[in-house]
Amino acid sequence: MTAVLYDTPGPRARVRNASLGALGAVLVIAVLAFLLYRFADTGQFTGRRWGWIQYVEIQKLLIRALLNVLAAFAMGAVLALAFGAVFAACRLSDHAWLSRPAVVVVEFFRAIPLLVMIFFFYYGLPPATGISVTPYWAVVLGLTLYNGSVLAEIFRAGVLSLSRGQSEAAYALGMRKSQVMTSVLLPQAVRAMLPTIISQLVVLLKDTALGFLIGFQELLFVARTLGSQGMFDYPILPVAFVVAMIYIAMCLLLSAAAGYLERRTRRSPKGVARTPADTAKAEAAAIAGQTQF
C-alpha cells in the first residue's frame, strides 16, 4: 500500500486529488479562453495581420533566416561536441598539467553568460585585436564555448557514472587508458548520456535567437522586422506565433532523430544489444579457458 516516495492515496485522497486536478484544468481552460478572447478582441486573427505570409518575398526571407539558424546550429553543435569531448578527456586525465587547466577553462566559460560572450566576440574583439568577426561567427563561437563547457561536464559525469568493473576488466586485458576510454567507457557513456546531450543541443538551437541582438539575420531578427511593418498592421503576435511553431518543429525533429539514433545504437545484428563491456568480459573468459556466447 505504499510507494517509494509517498503512501498510496486512499479513497478520500483520490477524490481530493481528482477534484484539484479538475479545478486546475478548468482554470487553465479559462485562462486560454480569456487569451483567445483578447486576441480576437484586439484583431489578432484578422486577415490583414496574417496577409504578410502570402508574399513570396517574405516567405523567401523566412527560409533564408531558417537556413541561417540551421547553419549556426550545425556549426555550433559540431564544435561544442568536439570541445566537450576534448575537455572532458582532459578533466579525466591522471596528469595534473592536463586536468587542472581543463577545470579552469570549463568552469570559466560555464560561468559567463552566453550573451556576454557573443557581445565580446562581436563588439570587444575587433577593437582589442583588430580581428573582425561577423555576426555568424560571433554567435557560433559563443555557442561553442558555453555549450561545449556544459557538454564537457555531461561527458565527464557520464563516464564517471559507469562502474569501475568496466575499466578494470579492460585493463586486465592489457588495454591502455586511451583504449579503455574510446573502446569501453565512451560507447556506453554516450548511450546513457544521449537524452541529456540532446537536451543541451535543443538549448543550443534555441540560443541561436540571441544573435538578433548583434544583427544576425535569423528568425527572431526577421520576426522583429516584420512585426514592425505598419502596412500589415504591426503583426508582432502572428509573426511570433509562426516563428515559435518553426522552433517547436525543429526541436521535435531533433528529439525524434535522437530517439532513432538511440534505438539504432542499442540494436545488435541479432537484435540483442552487446556493449563493449560484454565483449571485454567474453574475451577475459576466453582467455581463462572458458567458452562464452
Tell me whether residue 193 is in a domain: yes
Q: Give me the number of domains the chain comprises.
A: 1
- Domain boundaries, position 278: 43-287
Residue 84 lies in a domain: yes
CA 171 vs CA 168, 176, 179, 273: distances in Å: 5, 7, 9, 23
- This prediction has a pTM of 0.78
pLDDT in tens, 169-192: 777 877 777 777 777 777 777 777
* Digit-coded pLDDT (tens) for 1-19: 445 556 677 788 888 889 9
Whether the pLDDT of residue 289 is over 70: the answer is no
How many Å apart are CA 42 and CA 36, to the nearest integer?
10
**Can you tell me the distance from the alpha carbon of 90 to that of 188, in angstroms, rounded to the nearest whole number?**
19
Domain of residue 132, CATH code: 1.10.3720.10
What is the distance between the alpha carbons of residues 42 and 119, in angstroms, rounded to a whole number? 37
Terminal Cα distance for the chain, rounded: 42
Q: Which residue has the higher pLDDT, 74 or 228?
A: 74
Q: Confirm whether 194 is domain-assigned.
A: yes
- The answer as to whether 18 is a domain residue is no
Could you give the CA distance from residue 66 to residue 218 in angstroms, rounded to a whole number? Answer: 6
Residue 199: name the closest of 114, 259, 240, 265 by CA: 259
**Is 47 inside any structural domain?**
yes
Which residues sit opposite 2 in a β-bridge? Answer: 7
Residue scoring higher pLDDT (276 or 148) = 148
Confirm whether 27 is domain-assigned: no
Read off the C-alpha cell for 104: 579552469
How far apart are the C-alpha atoms of 140 and 214, rounded to whole Å?
13
